[in-house]
Structure 1
Amino acid sequence: MSAQNIPVDWDKAQALAFEAGRAAAGPVETVPLAGADGRTLAEPLVALTDLPAFPTSSIDGWAVRGPAPWRPVGRVLAGGVPEPLTEEGTCVEIATGAMVPAGAAALVRVEESTRDAAGLVSGKPRPQPEWRLPGDEAARGEELLPAGTPVDPAVLGLAATCGYDAIPVRPRPRAALLVFGDELLTSGPPGAGRVRDSLTPLVPAWLRREGATVDAGAVHGPVQDTLDAHVAAIEQGLAVADVVCTTGGTMHGPVDHLHPALARLGAEYVVNTVAVRPGFPMLLARVPGPDGRPRFLAGLPGNPQSAVIALVSLVAPLLAGLSGRSLPTLRRVEVTAPVPGRGAYTHLALAALDDAGRATPVGHVASSMLRGLARADGFVVVRPDAQAAAGETTGFLPLPLFPGERS
């Protein structure tokens, strides 16, 4: 085995993929709030003004000046600018969210006030002022969220509250999928020596949950098992995508043309095989792009669960870097049953979480199986030359959530 084929430690492989993506991240785009959901902040979100920007009533009631009783001299509703209270013993009726008039000393709740026959208002203000002062939530110029924050509905609402109409974000990485293997069926049940292609529906959905866009025309296969067909398909994918995922052909068998195709295209390996089980024959390569920015090819193994391991090991970190996000850290969970190690390799063991957040390994987890994956919430991470005993706390890598959800 040549030096470039020595399996890379799983943590190092993730770091290499992330750094490659971060170095190739696309330029900043400023987009309207309506189009920013699911993107990533390219710059810190800073308060454009004090929040709130003016003293704001927290109640329906009366803004009063001086001792009771108070003579009403007006009304202020949300959205209005009141006249100052200049005379002792006066008040204005005020609505929740309205601007508190200058000169007001206190607010009195409407349900805790009375009016006499002459229309004068009496009541007792509560000890704590019932209005929000400018800067209660944020001061002008304060950083509210750092660059790299995923934009979700809460972030959009906060940006709008600050007064933003558009925000600077990173572009979504574009992804494509090429499925290799003449033995694959694209419809119907498997049989007669042929297996059903499960990765065409699985991989694009996974990529979208990791923040990429996958156009309908960016999925092709099965690609004919010849070198020329592989090169042509990869070139076609690289023309429309920042990341091309391929399935199968990552070894050196008689119809494994991926490595020769990459050589013909002048690609440079970022990672070539990862010390992880299942799924170690995976790769990530950097390919020169026509605009000077590199493109990437992620070679996923053909077995379905191994392909998923490659997605979480190499593609997810790459997409995080390309999107301007940080590399996620592992959660810590307690395992309810022993999880074996895999010698010098990191073991990613599918597991389901119970209501208490404890992880239980699932069955049907061979490289060719997806039944266990469909029942799992993520992977227990067992480090090389180790195992996890029941009751032990270890790392846990969750499966991706729906777009826009926080992990």
Structure 2
Amino acid sequence: MSTQPPSAPVAEPPPAGWEEARSRVYAVGLAAALPSTPRPLAEADGHTLAEPLTTRTDLPAFPTSSVDGWAVRGEQPWRVVGRVLAGSTPAPLTSDGTTVEIATGAMVPEGTTAIVRIEHSARDPEGLVTGVPRPRPEWRLPGEEARAGEELVASGTPVDPALIGLAASCGQDTLQVRRPPRAALLVFGDELLTSGPPADGRVRDSLGPSVPSWLRRYGCQVRAADVVGPVADTLPAHVAALRSALGTADLVCTTGGTMHGPVDHLHPALEALGADHVVNTVAVRPGFPMLLARVTSDDGRVRFVAGLPGNPQSAVVALVSLVAPLLAGLQGRQLPVLPQVTLAEPVPGRGDYTHLALVRLDRATGTAYPVRHVGSAMLRGLAGADGFAVIPPGTSGSVGDRVRVVPLPLLPGERTW
């Protein structure tokens, strides 16, 4: 019979501070940033610049007319000696008192002293042109917008249609970019219904339909086939589902099972896969039992698992706290600077925990109003909110306080904040 005393349970490490967790996951994402590749302009939308965008020539590359009119030399009246259309190289104006008709965007002939708008000109029966030029020149000078080789857009910038158009105007045919991360979602919980109203002790799954849309707003690719669940509440089912999802995804999000209850199998499943925890619980309310783990395959490929709590609002807190900074790092983007707002009403603190309080923003005044129905299992408040006000540990928010806010992710191109 053994005389050894029973071993004491291993103490869980304290939760990471919210600021620390956010910085930590961004750093590991950046260290595992997706590889860059050249993409044709028409295929680059939604990617992220892996190199700065520079221009191959001056912009404009040559003097171009801003209006339809007459490129003139010397004093009026002017004798018409030709026409210049966009896309052609004109002969120089060599004699005073001469002019050529010129189209918007056409190259301005050498020797031009002014451009007269067509609506400000007249032509007499002998064909001579008269008119009064505006005081400011009506053409664009070479390099007015940019000089050859100038950096116009920094690496890490999301590629959108405006950037694609700028790249084309710079003479670029391809962009060196990082592709959008591929994400998958595993929904855990035998108690969940996937259709119809809640009944008989079972609740409707609200995260399976919504989390993929949040992930897409953070720049991820999520296919319908990448959303799996509910996954059976057994350890083998969890391990199999995670292994399958990690085969193609850069990030696998899971819902529920982040604690150590009788059917919470996420931690032992991660252990079976050889994962290491980047963050295991965060000192934030709501959303405390969130986690981020890293899985490295034999070939060195790094993938991530984000454990979102099962309560819906807590899951969204985990998305904005851990998933958003991780995805910024994976795409080589900057960690977003959180904007500030003025509280219109008091917001309580949560003791030693950061409080992420749902607020709606009055954009005209830059003030934030707390919303109602904000329990961790509720979604009504979230549906009317613009983001989360950040109330640091040991503090509370008073009327008039300036506080940071974590915006809810928007559609690409929306820049409300």
Q: TM-score range by the shorter chain?
A: over 0.9
TM-superposition CA deviations, 1:19-57 (whole Å, max 9, x none) = 111111111111122221121111000011100111001
What is the letter of the counterpart of residue 156 of structure 2? G
2:389 equivalent among 376, 380, 403: 380
Partner residue in 2 for 1:74 = 82
Alignment of 1:199-238 (within 5 A): 199-238=207-246
Secondary structure in 1 matching 2:212: helix
**CA distance in structure 2 between the aligned counterparts of 1:3 and 1:60, rounded to whole angstroms:** 78
Residue 246 of structure 2 corresponds to residue 246 of structure 1: no
1:296-315 to 2 correspondences below 5 Å: 296-315=304-323
2:373 corresponds to 1:364 = yes
Which of 404, 410, 415 pairs up with 1:401? 410
- Match of 1:352, SS state, is strand
Q: Which residue of 2 aligns with 1:96?
A: 104
TM-score normalised by the chain length of structure 2: 0.95
TM-aligned CA deviation for residue 253 of structure 1 = 0.7
SS in 2 for 1:308: helix
Alpha-carbon distance, 1:363 to partner: 0.5
Q: Indicate the residue corresponding to 1:32 in structure 2.
A: 40
Counterpart residue number, 1:288:
296
Shift of 1:116: 2.1
Q: Secondary structure at the match of 1:5?
A: coil
User: Which residue pairs with 1:43 in the alignment?
Assistant: 51
1:175-199 CA deviation, whole Å, 9 max, x = no partner?
0011111111111100111111111
1:404–1:48 CA distance, 2 compared to 1 (3 A): same
**Contact 1:180–1:247 (8 Å) recurs in 2:** yes
Report the CA distance between 1:85 and its aligned residue.
Answer: 1.0
- Please show how residues 68-147 of structure 1 align to structure 2 within 5 Å: 68-147=76-155
Structure 2: any 5+ residue segments left out of the alignment? Answer: 1-8
Matches within 5 A, 1:249-288: 249-288=257-296
Match of 2:358? 350
TM-superposed CA distance for 1:211, in Å, is: 0.5
Alpha-carbon distance change, 2 to 373 in structure 1, aligned in 2, over 3 angstroms: farther
Instruction: Give the structure 2 partner of residue 153 of structure 1.
Output: 161
Distance 1:211 1:126 in 2: 48
> Compared with structure 1, are the counterparts of its residues 283 and 2 closer, same or farther at alpha carbon in structure 2 (3 Å cutoff)?
farther
Q: Secondary structure at the match of 1:208?
A: helix
Q: CA deviation at 1:71?
A: 0.5
Structure 1 residue runs without a partner (length 5+) = none
| 2:20 corresponding residue in structure 1 | 12
Alpha-carbon distance in structure 2 between the residues aligned to 1:96 and 1:370: 54
Query: Which amino acid in 2 is paired with 1:181?
Result: G
- Asked if the contact 2:233–2:263 (Cα under 8 Å) also holds between the matched residues in 1, the reply is yes
Give the drift of 1:2: 5.7
Cα deviation, residue 3, structure 1: 6.5
How far off its partner does 1:288 sit? Answer: 1.3
Seen in structure 2, the aligned counterparts of structure 1 residues 392 and 235 have a Cα distance that, compared at 3 Å, is same
Tell me the distance in 1 between the aligned counterparts of 2:327 and 2:381.
25
User: 1:96 aligns to what SS in structure 2?
Assistant: coil
**Aligned pair 1:338/2:346, yes or no?**
yes
* Distance of 1:62 and 1:289 partners within structure 2: 68
When the two chains are superposed, the root-mean-square deviation of aligned CA atoms in Å is 1.3
**Given the two structures, how large is their TM-score scaled by the length of structure 1?**
0.98
| Aligned partner of 1:54 among 62, 68, 71 | 62
Length, aligned pairs only: 407
> How many angstroms does 1:126 deviate by?
2.4
SS state at 1:17 partner: helix
> Following the alignment from structure 2 to structure 1, what is the Cα–Cα distance between the partners of residues 298 and 194?
33
